[in-house]
Structure 1
Amino acid sequence: MVKISVIKFNIVTFAAQNIRIESSMNTYQKNRIQKNRIAVATFFFVNGFLYANWTARLPELQRFLGLSNTLLGALLLISAMGAVISMPFAGWLTTRFGSDKTTPIAGLLFVAMVPLLVISPDWRIASVFFFLIGMSAGTLDVSMNNQAVFVERAYAKPIMSSFHAVFSIGMAIGAGVGALFAKYQWVLFHHLALLAMFGLIALSMASFFMVKQEVSSAKPINESDSNETQSGDASQPKSFLKLPAKAVLPLGLIAFCGMTGEGAMADWSAIFMSKVVGNTDFFSALAFGTFGVAMTIGRLLGDYATEKLGKHRLMTYNSVLAFVGLLLPLVFPFTWITLLGFFFIGLGLATVVPIVYSTAGNTPGVSPGEGIAMATTIGYAGFFVGPPIIGFMADEFGLRAGLLFALSLFGVMGVLVRKLRE
């Protein structure tokens, strides 16, 4: 009896020790995942913060370099081209070497390029820096979203929208900080160099907490319990010049529709409020501000909504909301109706890109990096195609007619979401 009691005692003790060890491992894993999330969010924040700072002072940069409006527009186009060109290559890099390596490198290069824009002696050298900052930003976009997909997998629930909300918050704070530096007439190089130092320190610290990725399987090491597998073709890319996978193409087209809408709001919302509605500069500025606030709110609530409604249902509702939001001011161009409509558009478009990236990064048979790169490249094309088409239609038929192009894309987005569900 004594021996049996001792055996029972040892079994109970061993079980208790195992429970404590398992509990300790769970606590360690949770802490590690939380650090991963904070680290990846830091990249999103710094990206938005620095981008807003240098774009907020573009007028001063234009005067400093003696650029005409045409030349400035050309430089911005060169930067955008650099971003789009880099994205397929970034997808290949993240799959070949791991996004835990490409994200810090791209982030640090992006931060380092920001103050270099100011020391250019002329527009020719500036065009090189604009192209390089575009390439680093495009690579960072793909890489950090790849990391976000891995963190989301580890959490086993939707959290992608929260990363994009952090980006939006970074942009809002960055725009405010940039305005303060401009108000107190800080030397442009000193302003950007100071913030670049902040970015370098923040990203260097965050780099130690990236999700470790096995290059052979294009999956994170600390997610070994996942049942998802990658095909050999997906995990061993032979070339970065690939046509979009059939499963990713509809996602890219949805991103195209959404990003064209975002570009339309950025470029034309204030002008619509001024010329069509006929309002003061205050309300014209408030137009895009209303859209931006709604985008941030939508992204902060996006993960909760995705978990409760599901991706397809939420995307369907968002397509309808964006469509109705733009239809309202086109039919009833009055101040408060227009502001309400722009708010609806912001809510409707808020989760489009996060959901597309999350879905593309989890597409079977395609590595996360390549899936995100494909969807991002197609989506960013909306920033090229949208503004000139809307501008041409606005010149020929009026701005209300021009924005019908964006309205039609919101309708197409709803159809594509429905097709995906089927």
Structure 2
Amino acid sequence: MKLDRLAVNVIFLINGFIYANWIARLPRIQELYNLDNKSLGLVLLFVSMGAISSMPFTGWLIHKKSSRFITLLGAIIFCLLVPPIPLLPEVWQVRILFYLLGVSAGLLDVSMNAQAVLVEKKYQMPIMSSFHALFSVGMMIGAGCGALFAQFNVSLFAHFVSVVIVSLLLVAWASRHLIRDTPQAQSGESGGGFQLPTKAILSIGIIAFCGMTGEGAMSDWSSNYMENVAHSSQALAPIALAAFSMAMTIGRLFGDRARSYFGDRKLLVYSGSVAFIGLALSLAFPVSLLVITGFFIVGLGLATVVPIAYSIAGNAPGLPSGVGLSMVTTVGYSGFLFGPPIIGFLADWQTLRIALLFVAVLFALMTFLGFRSKF
């Protein structure tokens, strides 16, 4: 594997690793700040608001500064904002911190995928899923770390500082090997400003919205569902997230081959159907082992949805890759914007089990849109 591809893989892995570490400890964060489900949903809403506010302009920043520069900037800020999470005295301060965390996540998500598109173009073959597989590997490892630190009752601050130090060392290594793309503004290339999504981009963006809402729901609420609905232990709860991430990893490792065999349209239909079946199993039988199995199936279903969407957007004709990606990620990440509060409100109104039916409906919608779309 060439070093530039390996460096982009490392960035994807770090992103998933850091994200899963603090997400896996959400029940403890919820307890620390005395948050009910609705309040937790509102706190998570600020992460999504931060990402949504930064993503539309990340394409412009890449156009001005290069995807390498924005990738490193986003990765460093994302890492440094995690350790202060358990140290703030007021909930409103937590919301501000989570907003900034979302801003950095938005910068990182668009720019690292722009780097992935550059590598994919060098290879001249579909390899986008392999990058997202490393994100899932990071999620899986991060969830496992979360379970381990919880098992030994390690404080949140000590936990987060430990994983951030390791991650920043990896970022330092990757900085030497990321593709040194020239800022397009300096090369005289136009088209890097803020633009609204085209009809074709909007279509794939809606599919990304459904898939990313599902990913966010599995990440944000899996531990809570395991503890509060399946009545699992605190140490076992993050295993559902680990299973989901493992399945995403497996699906993405074979995703590029599946795209070549089935085509994007059929694969999206199959993906939506499998995700729906997995979530239905978890909701129908809230027993720890079956929930873990169901979340694993959901992971298999969602594995290729976002890589397909990003690959199409990054190679959209007539658009710089960063701009196309910023359009789709903005539409897709609005799922993270609306998902957490909707699930939180529904969980407080009814139960978390019923609230997750909203996600199952989105999986059905994604299947329908995949059937109707033409790529």
Q: Same fold (TM over 0.5)?
A: yes
Alpha-carbon distance in 1 for matches of 2:125, 2:178: 19
Question: What amino acid does structure 1 have at the position aligned with 2:101?
Answer: I
**Deviation sequence 1:69-116 (CA, Å, 0-9, x none):** 466554332222112211112121112221011111111121222223
Asked whether the 8 Å contact 2:24–2:241 carries over to 1, the reply is no
Asked whether the 8 Å contact 2:5–2:119 carries over to 1, the reply is yes
Which one of the candidate residues 375, 380, 396 is aligned to 2:333?
380
Which one of the candidate residues 274, 293, 302 is aligned to 2:255?
302
Residues 371-380 or 50-59, more deviating: 50-59
SS in 2 for 1:213: coil
Alpha-carbon distance in 2 for matches of 1:63, 1:388: 18
Alpha-carbon distance in 1 for matches of 2:76, 2:220: 29
Q: Which residue of 1 aligns with 2:321?
A: 368
Which one of the candidate residues 190, 198, 209 is aligned to 1:256?
209
Alpha-carbon distance in 2 for matches of 1:279, 1:60: 17
Change (3 A) 1:177 1:270: closer
Asked whether the 8 Å contact 1:111–1:196 carries over to 2, the reply is yes
Matched, 1:196 2:164: yes
SS in 2 for 1:363: coil
Residues 150-159 or 50-59, more deviating: 50-59
**How big is the shift at 1:252?**
0.7
Alpha-carbon distance in 2 for matches of 1:280, 1:185: 19
Alpha-carbon distance in 2 for matches of 1:396, 1:126: 24
Higher relative contact order (CA 8 A, sep 6+): 2
Change (3 A) 1:360 1:299: same
Residues 386-395 or 185-194, more deviating: 386-395
**Deviation sequence 1:310-351 (CA, Å, 0-9, x none):** 322322221232334445666x64868766554432211111
**How big is the shift at 1:63?**
6.3
Alpha-carbon distance in 1 for matches of 2:87, 2:285: 45
Question: What amino acid does structure 2 have at the position aligned with 1:237?
Answer: G
SS in 1 for 2:200: coil
Matches for 1:394-413 after TM superposition, within 5 Å = 402-413=355-366
Which one of the candidate residues 93, 99, 102 is aligned to 2:70?
102
Question: What amino acid does structure 1 have at the position aligned with 2:74?
Answer: A
**How big is the shift at 1:248?**
0.8
Matches for 1:7-406 after TM superposition, within 5 Å = 34-58=2-26, 66-69=33-36, 73-216=41-184, 235-238=190-193, 240=194, 242-266=195-219, 280-281=231-232, 289-327=242-280, 333=285, 341-390=294-343, 402-406=355-359
| TM-score normalised by length of structure 1 | 0.75
Alpha-carbon distance in 1 for matches of 2:313, 2:12: 19
Alpha-carbon distance in 2 for matches of 1:116, 1:103: 22
Question: What amino acid does structure 2 have at the position aligned with 1:295?
Answer: M
Alpha-carbon distance in 2 for matches of 1:404, 1:62: 23
Q: Give the number of equivalent residue pairs.
A: 371
Alpha-carbon distance in 1 for matches of 2:197, 2:69: 24
Alpha-carbon distance in 2 for matches of 1:263, 1:141: 14
Q: Which residue of 1 aligns with 2:373?
A: 420
Change (3 A) 1:291 1:214: same
Alpha-carbon distance in 1 for matches of 2:350, 2:28: 34
SS in 2 for 1:114: coil
Alpha-carbon distance in 1 for matches of 2:162, 2:154: 11
**How big is the shift at 1:204?**
1.6
**Deviation sequence 1:382-419 (CA, Å, 0-9, x none):** 12333444566667777776555433322322332233
Q: Whose Rg is larger?
A: 1
Residues 382-391 or 369-378, more deviating: 382-391
Q: Considering only aligned residues, what root-mean-square deviation do their CA atoms show, in Å?
A: 3.5
**How big is the shift at 1:50?**
1.8
**How big is the shift at 1:291?**
3.5
Change (3 A) 1:317 1:60: closer
**Unaligned regions of 5+ residues in structure 1, if any?**
1-30, 220-230
Change (3 A) 1:385 1:73: closer
SS in 1 for 2:300: helix
SS in 2 for 1:248: helix
Alpha-carbon distance in 2 for matches of 1:217, 1:247: 25
**Deviation sequence 1:44-64 (CA, Å, 0-9, x none):** 111122222233344555666
SS in 2 for 1:77: helix
Question: What amino acid does structure 2 have at the position aligned with 1:317?
Answer: Y
Alpha-carbon distance in 2 for matches of 1:186, 1:102: 33
Q: Which residue of 2 aligns with 1:27?
A: none
Change (3 A) 1:323 1:196: closer
